Amino acid sequence: MLNNKSILIIGAGISGITAAVSLIKSQFTNVIILEAENRIGGRIETVSFANGFIDLGAQWCQGEKGNSVYELCKNEFKFGTTGWLNGTGFVPVASSGEIDVEKILRLEELRQEILLKYDEMKKSKVSIGEFFEEKFYDALKTSQFQDIDEKLADMFLGFWQREFNSLFASTNWYDVSSKLYPILETCEGQQDLTWRQYGFKTLFDIIQKDLPKSIKLEEKILLNKKVTKINWSNEKVIVQTEDNSVYSADNIIITIPLGYLQAHHMNIFYPKLPDSKIKAIECIKVGTLGKVFLEFEECFWNRDNDDFVMYAFLWTKEDLEQIIDTDKEWLTHILGFIKVDSHPNLLEGLLSGDKMREFETYSNDKIISDCMWMLEKFLKRSLPRPIAMRRTKWLTRENFLGSYTYLSMKSADENITSDDLATSIKSKNNKPVLLFSGEATHKRYQGYVHGALDSGKRAAQEIIDFYSSKSKL
């Protein structure tokens, strides 16, 4: 019976691959994955660079306990670590003048305290940016911080805004809901486990290991199949792709990135999706995390020094004013440059915010020149020019239109969470016809790879449970 049920999965990212593996292991063999790109992986994209591999998309396994990615891989792979996301190796550098590191560390402790005020956040009606600023400046008025001057406070606050936007891919922290922020959970353990020189693509090899030897998953994945129409008006769902291929299925799992759904859902689905689903698609926001990798002939930093993981850029107000409204303004969105595990001659810049489109469209030469101008300004010395550069373009790539998602102020106003996006659309006999998965659909782990993986399992399990209950009747 299960062999007769046809299931289409749209998207060969980790959510789609996980769903397929789960279904096949439960005896559903009529499973096909349609992938718009010419590769699998989705927003996990490991590419060759600097005599090894780097990750243009997802990069770290964040947390251990409760992290399904870690649990799946811990006995198969030896992770590395950098220390950055655990707060070590943080080297603050200022655009002008010197930095009192001891004061910065105290402000960092204050930051952590504010972000743990979950009970207050849950009752808040303002953005996380407004919430943080109020608590931050109130604390600075106390005797504990009387030695912190306004200049240093503003520099630190600007850095933390950039760090928050980089971690959450938010365009602006004034658009992130403080009320919904506590919903997100962090798995216990190391937050920056790396895939060393092998890259996140390793996960796809591990996840397929339990499949029966007779099943070749690659034979079930059709590349360059961009879905243009999904007709769910009848018992069988009909899917058409850009090359005019047509497929029918009993159930469809949709793992299309939310950025693409937001731009195209009205044209893809017939009939149109229910209003509640459209509201969820439109209220949850998609942001972009940008990366720029610089390879040097020789490193100019102490690569063996565990006390250095990241150059953290702190801008003075005066220096910011000089660069705003120039073609270098995009640099003010760079959080800093970090060392890359197992790549001794690489630095990686991280950025987010409202200048991502400019970053993605500037020439390679400009990106390199601007980055070196910035590094020399902050490190206050001449530096060698990199021998190679690679940067990301998630916002302008037509099949993605962003990196990952966050819960916006509009989400809070409309009382929308990821659960609303995850809810399947069912037929009259309660069959889950359209199922939705991907990081944007996971309430607790939104934005994480383990959230995407878990959501693929959840969607597959809903199909498995439906047909299991039918077989018992």
- Nearest to 336, CA basis, from 365, 379, 383: 379
Provide the strand spans (E) within 17-155. 31-34, 46-49, 52-55, 80-81, 90-94
Is 98 annotated to bind a ligand? Reply is no
Secondary structure of 248-304 as H, E, C letters = EECEEEECCCHHHHHHHHHHHEECCCCHHHHHHHHHCEEECCEEEEEECCCCCCCCC
d(CA 326, CA 346): 28
Q: Which residues, 6 or more positions from 131, have their beta carbon under 8 angstroms from its beta carbon?
A: 114, 120, 121, 124, 178
Cα 16 to Cα 169: distance, rounded to the nearest angstrom: 22
Helix (H) or strand (E) holding 379, with range, is helix 364-379
Bridge pairing between strands 269-270 and 227-231: parallel
Task: Compute the distance between CA of residue 249 and CA of residue 239 in angstroms, rounded to an integer.
Answer: 8
| Contact criterion met (CB below 8 Å) for 335 and 173 | no
Which residues partner with 290 through β-bridges? 351
Whole-number Å distance between alpha carbons of 261 and 241: 15
Known binder of ligand: residue 36? yes
Q: Of 337, 327, 387, whose CA–CA distance to 358 is shortest?
A: 327
Bond prior to 274 in cis (omega within 30° of 0)? no
- Distance of alpha carbon 72 from the chain centroid: 20
In Å, the largest CA–CA distance within the chain is: 76
Asked whether the beta carbons of 144 and 197 are under 8 A apart, the reply is no
Task: Give Cβ neighbours of residue 9 (< 8 Å, ≥ 6 apart).
Answer: 16, 19, 20, 31, 32, 33, 34, 252, 253, 255
SS3 96: coil
Residue 35 annotated as binding? yes
Geometric angle at alpha carbon 469, from 467 and 473, rounded to 5°: 110
Q: How distant, in Å, are the alpha carbons of 204, 228, 359, 369 from that of 325?
A: 43, 39, 14, 18
Residue 98: helix, strand or coil by DSSP?
A: coil
- Whole-number Å distance between alpha carbons of 397 and 420: 26
| 433 marked among binding-site residues | no
Burial class of residue 213 in the structure, from the number of CB atoms within 10 Å of its CB (0-12 exposed, 13-18 middle, 19+ buried): exposed
From the annotation, which residues make up the binding site? 15, 35-36, 227
From the annotation, which residues make up the binding site for FAD? 15, 35-36, 227
